[in-house]
Amino acid sequence: MKNWDETLGKRLRRIRNLSGFSIHELAERAKITEATLNRVENDEMLELKQDAIDRLAKCLGTSADYLLGRGKDLGAANEEAQH
């Protein structure tokens, strides 16, 4: 079931902040440009290629399904924020 209450960008920003990453750090780790990540977080770019979503999810310790609003469990992102 898709979560329509929160966009990919809002969800991504929230998890990134919980994980303690700056836009620069996450973009570098996920091998995407800062400009792309910034556009996604600001809902100026509503879609990303699946491989970019997979890399972001891995960096954030969550699932691609969660980032896309299809999963309910934040996963390890909460644990990462506590370390």
Domain membership of residue 44 as a residue range: 8-71
- For residue 5, what pLDDT is reported? 74
The number of distinct structural domains making up the chain is: 1
pTM value is: 0.81
In single-letter form, the type of residue at position 45 comes to: M
Q: Quick check: is 34 in a domain?
A: yes
67 Cβ contact list (under 8 Å, min separation 6)? 8, 11, 12, 15, 53, 56, 57, 60
Residue 83 maps to a domain: no
Would 3 be classed as within a structural domain? no
**70-79: average pLDDT:** 61
Domain holding 22: CATH number? 1.10.260.40
CA distances from 33 to 4, 14, 72, 83 (A): 26, 19, 28, 26
Query: Are 70 and 82 spatial neighbours (Cβ–Cβ below 8 Å)?
Result: no
The predicted-structure confidence for 2-61, as pLDDT tens digits, reads as follows 445 789 999 999 999 999 999 999 999 999 999 999 999 999 998 899 999 999 999 999
Is 26 within a domain?
yes
